[in-house]
Structure 1
């Protein structure tokens, strides 16, 4: 049953990625929506689940929150290390806006950088983290069905609905950093398959609750960094429009609705 339900997550992820591909002429709105969806997923879904599941405190601070901060710092460190590596290899042009409309992504320059100072490895790393998250989504579905049918259905509704955001964000994150379209599509397909694989894996084992909560806390910190330090500033770089802000708020509101319905 869990694997069958995970197929719904597979389809919803592809729908999200397809949506991201077909709105390139409104790139700032895409990024604004993606940032809102990511903020909503972190603040309204991942972090509450992590706090509930991880349990325990370390020097008076919930372990999930410590891992949340650690995830944020690790994401920042990885991006800085990649930026230093790019500079050391001779790519000295200053960061600028992303590719203009009609300009192909993935146009590499000296040192592995792309036009506009984007670092493709950052996008691939972020997308790989999204794939890992989707794998754990599938594990969560399977683990919930191990508890009971009602719990499994509730978790499945939440996962399938927010997998639209996962697919949308996976494609957007990969392409935003200058990766070619084929790479973005490959990461999208991997993200779509991940929950099915995760759900199938629970047929072989029972997942302890605390490691799952710890993972959710850490991954929430990574997503918050990407949303606050990368996606949203890029969305407002060329188009500081009110509509972009409204799309961001709409993304958060959508996740709130999903969490409310699932709860």
Structure 2
């Protein structure tokens, strides 16, 4: 039970990150270049999480080909979801840029995947679950900000925006519980495969969403250093 409590505590970090980013969007306007820097830091942290922790841990499996296949499947899963969001945005009339609702559903799905990663990682090693939470929260804050900013642009009322912000944040807790209850007691290869699957999702999200978004309205001058700095910061945290 103590293990489950810690997993829920870990998953609160990205949940609060998403919600806090949304609340920040209600009261402040962040310069696009500063947002670009934040997104580059987030990308660096996530890339470090994948390369320093998730993949090395998953490749400890006795049958690494299953892990690699799960990693590729994670990438394909996100591409499929992304295509579905594109279809929805087309139906809503936003073919050139994601509509507010498409962003909302994308963030909610990403939030669930974050929770699945935290729940699965914690079953393998509680420290891994904690590091996963630290890694994903850096991206959840700007994601929450972007979601609520999009709803503000659509003129949706503040009360509704806050409710939607809450529902975009909650899936991480559901994902963590799913990872814990469904995988507890399963063979270690299953846990490693799910870990690799979420790593594939995260890598694809970073390459297809976070980095392109960070360049959408111009790149900050120190963007490359922010990317390297985010990577180095997480690598440092992981060895302390």
Alpha-carbon distance in structure 2 between the residues aligned to 1:27 and 1:52: 37
User: What does residue 227 of structure 1 align with?
Assistant: 206
Q: CA deviation at 1:83?
A: 1.7
Q: CA deviation at 1:123?
A: 4.6
User: What does residue 146 of structure 2 align with?
Assistant: 176
Whether the aligned pair in 1 keeps the contact of 2:19 and 2:169 (CA below 8 Å) is no
User: What does residue 155 of structure 2 align with?
Assistant: none
SS at match of 2:59: helix
User: What does residue 3 of structure 1 align with?
Assistant: 4
- Spell out, residue by residue over 1:47-87, the C-alpha distance to the aligned partner (whole angstroms, 9 max, x if none): 2222223x325xxxx22222212221232233224324433
User: What does residue 73 of structure 2 align with?
Assistant: 70
Q: Larger C-alpha radius of gyration, 1 or 2?
A: 1
Unpaired runs of at least 5, structure 1? 96-116, 145-154
Aligned positions, number = 221
Relative to structure 1, is the Cα distance of residues 84 and 254 closer, same or farther in structure 2, using a 3 angstrom cutoff? same
Relative to structure 1, is the Cα distance of residues 73 and 187 closer, same or farther in structure 2, using a 3 angstrom cutoff? same
- 1:166 and 2:133 matched: no
Q: CA deviation at 1:171?
A: 4.8
- Spell out, residue by residue over 1:149-193, the C-alpha distance to the aligned partner (whole angstroms, 9 max, x if none): xxxxxx323422441333343454355354545323333244256
Give the structure with the higher percent helix.
2
Alpha-carbon distance in structure 2 between the residues aligned to 1:94 and 1:190: 27
Alpha-carbon distance in structure 2 between the residues aligned to 1:164 and 1:229: 21
User: What does residue 214 of structure 1 align with?
Assistant: 193
Whether the aligned pair in 1 keeps the contact of 2:19 and 2:144 (CA below 8 Å) is no
Match of 1:41 among 46, 49, 68: 49
Alpha-carbon distance in structure 2 between the residues aligned to 1:256 and 1:194: 25
User: What does residue 21 of structure 2 align with?
Assistant: 20
User: What does residue 128 of structure 1 align with?
Assistant: 109
Relative to structure 1, is the Cα distance of residues 6 and 219 closer, same or farther in structure 2, using a 3 angstrom cutoff? closer
Q: Please identify runs of 4+ aligned residues in structure 1 that moved more than 6 A.
A: none
- 1:91 and 2:99 matched: no
Q: Scaled by the length of structure 1, what TM-score is found?
A: 0.68
Relative to structure 1, is the Cα distance of residues 20 and 158 closer, same or farther in structure 2, using a 3 angstrom cutoff? farther
Relative to structure 1, is the Cα distance of residues 193 and 64 closer, same or farther in structure 2, using a 3 angstrom cutoff? closer
Relative to structure 1, is the Cα distance of residues 65 and 135 closer, same or farther in structure 2, using a 3 angstrom cutoff? closer
Alpha-carbon distance in structure 2 between the residues aligned to 1:11 and 1:38: 18
Alpha-carbon distance in structure 2 between the residues aligned to 1:222 and 1:77: 11
- Spell out, residue by residue over 1:192-215, the C-alpha distance to the aligned partner (whole angstroms, 9 max, x if none): 5654x368748x952321111111
Alpha-carbon distance in structure 2 between the residues aligned to 1:182 and 1:37: 29
- Spell out, residue by residue over 1:223-255, the C-alpha distance to the aligned partner (whole angstroms, 9 max, x if none): 111101111111122231232332222222222
Aligned CA RMSD, in angstroms, stands at 3.2
User: What does residue 102 of structure 1 align with?
Assistant: none
Q: CA deviation at 1:7?
A: 4.9
Q: Scaled by the length of structure 2, what TM-score is found?
A: 0.73
